[in-house]
Structure 1
């Protein structure tokens, strides 16, 4: 009976993969739906990172913070192999749409969460949907396009992956900071795109219905997901929820090994296994999986810890650090799409991952050489090298594995390679984090010991970037130097990982890609009629097709003089325009396709939007957010104050800008979005001031600050013999007898009170027969010593 079910399955499985049923335009439509789903899935995994402090502050549960971040990663990785098998049984389209629906429902649940437990559960379900989307997108692409022609399409998928990974934290920071949104919109923002992707796939993806084996390998599913889950728990929670050297670590690792052994047994005895053992007898699959594991380690390690260098060492804001990764995104986009086109034209693919892994290893070495004074140009070049390597590697490895697999194993092969890449990402984040923590502690301890200095009040633990940059010298310099040295070790560890991946792809056998070549030289005359019908209608719609609309500000007013640039998906400029007095614009496009519209003006934040143009002109209105600012003058009793520290914090207490006043007392904090803020100003010899300001989005808000003069009292408590008295209690009373402050003397008998206004005070020293002295302050008072009747 088992044999009767198996026989029709193999020939039937090949039917959906025949590309003859899809024109180039239909493939592009399917690709657009897959790209939207991939963009939604990948952004959802990274967008929450920026919002985590706010989420925990709202819902509570600081001790469960790591679970919010790791829950989706755990379920995404563990479920990846299952989606491929389920799509073999129930169909690609149904499972892909099911993953989208699961993702949307989980995103809504996450946004509506009322406590940390509900949020963790919703994130876990969200990870299940993301696992299905990331795996099945590649499987569907493999169904509708033969390997020889698949390169030019899979390159776009790789570019989407890189863009989403970097754009997620930027989007998360914007949503949390935006008025009227809040952290819950980090989960809602991806829902519209997922719904559109669902509709596109429903309309354009029409795969043949085939009879398939309806049996599910339950034992294999349980053991595979169980092994992956236990390993992911160790990697995600080790060093956070429990120590690496602890019973929890050894117990979970032992459980993972046992489940892995049972999974091997399960797959050997199953009639239709989830990960067929024959895959691991396929040299290309094994080597591509090893290389994908190494790429995942290097990629996620670099993307996670590079922003920490930019924010902590270089002092950049989260948004600025995200923008510094744009060279990596651009480089990844160019090499991913370019290598895909070359693979389609030449049929040669091995050279790309070979060069790509070399570049990844070189980038890890270059990143390890960054130091406190590294320029932005050097940083940009280093991350661009990483982007070049990733773009040449990510999708080509999946393509090579798909090309070497039987058509009946396409889904298992694709999901298997994706599984190892995700697993490598989790391993990279965990391993690099452990190395960073241990090296930072050792480096900082060594520097403090060499300088014979005590650690700061926070100890040797690394705080937030703002906390680090507010440390007093020399501790600040020690922390920055220690963090840079620790990161050097982290990135140097990535070098041998990349070398291992390079060796794996070096031993790959370059088998010819299945499918026909697009247009070889000998076939040029025969191919001439094919482009003719597509080329003929282009001139006609070129004059009619275009994008038009109005650019408005956030209050609905037209924004004249806005510079608009239209580019294609390859980054080539296609047209430019400037909005008229009514904010209107119009741009022509060469034909149907996907385009990017960029709007920039000096008084607003720049914006970019992706537009899909079909057979009709597209009307698109653009909304620009105001770019506000805060400026003013700091004055004291003697006039303008130079060098006063000015700090601007938002309603959550997060620092959004810091500066110092100039010689004329003037200060300016730029790129402050509209909203309410707290302005705090401090200067030597003056009392600090804090006031609430409202920044508008249509210009610069002016707020002057007056600082009242401050005074201090310092002295030493001595006994009758003139020796310092330790542990004496010194209390300061104002003219009304109210206690202003109290301190206890140290070994040197010294005491001090700062930040005082002028007036009459009483200083009382006790601990022995008390002594009280009166004084009148109209400025600083040093050397106000007190004598206690002490033997």
Structure 2
């Protein structure tokens, strides 16, 4: 897997020139953009998609969870492969998988097919999210990386603001239809593939004596999957104290315990314990887990709140999410510039996690008729918190490891952030589904568990009688606040982890200095 053209000497620790960095970033940012927009373009359209397929609230959650789960499970593998093979080729492979998953999603005929296709698409998304971070870290020193965060922030803002708007427009235009929410990313992905081929020049640093720990990755994926399936069905299909709960929880815990055992014994684990037990990576991972749970878990249901709870169209729902995305863009750009000047990252992570808590507490006060100004302000605060934490937590970990472990370390923190998001979406979705089921049954005076009228899903608003539609609006609008309060409580864990971080001064070199690398290699707890 050799790269073509003139190769920048990243393997020797020498950074690229500014012009070379910008050329390389062009394709990488396109790849990151297509990965992000694949989720955001669906966010506002998903209530209509699930309604048209006559799906349930649980299936709504699993359309999101399936993608996050496979992206999470494969992230460590992509990161380890990046330490073994040409990073450019791996990014292009991830793009091909993403395109195939997008096409399968667009042609789905029911919710089960859509969930399966989105799970396959998640493999490519996981690769793009992890590998873009790895490549950027391989060509830009940590201290200089902040100045380029503005470009990352711009891509995030365009994807997160433009995605919901585009998704809303697609489903509101009758001659397009919701399937184009999945097809629209295909030409962008093809363009990213071509631009990467032309602009990204990286050497291949192959280590033939190393193997990828597929067993460990498989055990982690299986253990997490079983626990998430349990969360989705407990207290609904079966009780907390039941043989199903005992079987699923027991199996999940055993598989994860085996995964830890395997990771502690293999020479090249997908989640390197010698790195994650160091103080800075460990605390950054805990914070990322909490931020991921709060961020993904809370944000996924905003589109549903505006459409199902407030009665807005998909396009209007997309417009109403702009305050959050604007907060992400502004805070990531400004904090990145300030971090590059000072070299200090901890104050911004601490401030970001605290801001996230405040924002979710604000969202926890909303109901079906709250002022949109209050909702918009709270969303902007959440966005500011996300922009100050998400990239900077990855940066803190990358700063503490040598170049040879960059892929695995970057993938590890991305893995736990995605894991947090997967858990958050699954848990909060289950909480929302159970609450909506009970409240809707009470409002409609029907037996608990009947969240539809006849064969029509409660999410298919257009097909419901007016009186039922009004009840659905009220129930969803009021119930969503509870999951935002849970998100705020989870984000507090991120605040605690951020406060316990050591003061971090970002290095100005691509790789660790030799003496620092030797210290990490011989004393895995030196950073404690």
Which residue number corresponds to residue 445 of structure 2?
455
Structure with larger Rg: 1
Q: Deviations over 1:354-387 (max 9, x none)?
A: 1111111111111122244432222211111111
Q: Given that residues 159 and 391 in structure 1 are in contact (C-alpha distance below 8 angstroms), is that contact kept between their aligned partners in structure 2?
A: no
- Distance in 2, Cα, partners of 1:116 & 1:407: 43
Which residue number corresponds to residue 256 of structure 1?
252
- Distance in 2, Cα, partners of 1:240 & 1:160: 40
Give the Å deviation of 1:353.
1.2
> Which of 357, 363, 377 lines up with 2:359 in the alignment?
363
Give the Å deviation of 1:211.
3.4
Which residue number corresponds to residue 23 of structure 1?
17
1:329 corresponds to 2:319: no
> Which of 303, 306, 314 lines up with 1:307 in the alignment?
303
Q: Deviations over 1:282-311 (max 9, x none)?
A: 111111111111111211232123333333
Cα gap change, 1:262 to 1:459, in 2 (>3 Å): closer
Q: Given that residues 327 and 384 in structure 1 are in contact (C-alpha distance below 8 angstroms), is that contact kept between their aligned partners in structure 2?
A: yes
* TM-score, length of structure 2 as denominator length: 0.83
- Distance in 2, Cα, partners of 1:298 & 1:61: 25
> Which of 156, 170, 173 lines up with 2:168 in the alignment?
173
> Which of 428, 432, 442 lines up with 1:436 in the alignment?
432
> Which of 482, 494, 499 lines up with 2:492 in the alignment?
499
Cα gap change, 1:426 to 1:247, in 2 (>3 Å): farther
Q: How does 1:679-698 map to 2 (within 5 A)?
A: none
Cα gap change, 1:58 to 1:39, in 2 (>3 Å): same
Q: How does 1:161-560 map to 2 (within 5 A)?
A: 161=156, 163-165=158-160, 167-212=162-207, 213-235=209-231, 247-440=243-436, 455=445, 461=451, 463-464=458-459, 466=461, 471-472=466-467, 476=470, 483-515=476-508
- Distance in 1, Cα, partners of 2:214 & 2:388: 37
Q: SS in structure 2 opposite 1:90?
A: coil
Give the Å deviation of 1:350.
0.9
1:35 corresponds to 2:25: no
Higher helix share: 2
- Distance in 2, Cα, partners of 1:503 & 1:123: 34
Please, what is the CA RMSD of the aligned residues? 3.4
- Distance in 2, Cα, partners of 1:334 & 1:18: 35
Q: Given that residues 438 and 448 in structure 2 are in contact (C-alpha distance below 8 angstroms), is that contact kept between their aligned partners in structure 1?
A: no
Q: Given that residues 18 and 143 in structure 1 are in contact (C-alpha distance below 8 angstroms), is that contact kept between their aligned partners in structure 2?
A: no
- Distance in 1, Cα, partners of 2:384 & 2:275: 30
- Distance in 1, Cα, partners of 2:244 & 2:156: 34
Q: SS in structure 2 opposite 1:89?
A: coil
Which residue number corresponds to residue 72 of structure 1?
67
Which residue number corresponds to residue 138 of structure 2?
143
Which residue number corresponds to residue 4 of structure 1?
none
- Distance in 2, Cα, partners of 1:487 & 1:120: 23
* TM-score, length of structure 1 as denominator length: 0.57
- Distance in 1, Cα, partners of 2:370 & 2:463: 18
- Distance in 2, Cα, partners of 1:113 & 1:314: 28
1:156 corresponds to 2:151: yes
Q: Given that residues 399 and 506 in structure 2 are in contact (C-alpha distance below 8 angstroms), is that contact kept between their aligned partners in structure 1?
A: yes
Cα gap change, 1:237 to 1:455, in 2 (>3 Å): closer
- Distance in 1, Cα, partners of 2:147 & 2:304: 34
Give the Å deviation of 1:190.
0.8
Cα gap change, 1:18 to 1:347, in 2 (>3 Å): farther
Q: SS in structure 1 opposite 2:178?
A: coil
Give the Å deviation of 1:323.
0.8
Q: How does 1:681-720 map to 2 (within 5 A)?
A: none
- Distance in 1, Cα, partners of 2:228 & 2:440: 30
**Count of paired positions:** 496
Give the Å deviation of 1:244.
6.0
Cα gap change, 1:85 to 1:102, in 2 (>3 Å): same
Give the Å deviation of 1:466.
4.0
Which residue number corresponds to residue 3 of structure 2?
none
Q: Deviations over 1:471-524 (max 9, x none)?
A: 549x95x7666555533332222222121110100010122211169xxxxxxx
- Distance in 1, Cα, partners of 2:53 & 2:310: 32
Give the Å deviation of 1:349.
1.0
> Which of 105, 111, 119 lines up with 1:124 in the alignment?
119
- Distance in 2, Cα, partners of 1:487 & 1:130: 27
- Distance in 2, Cα, partners of 1:122 & 1:394: 27
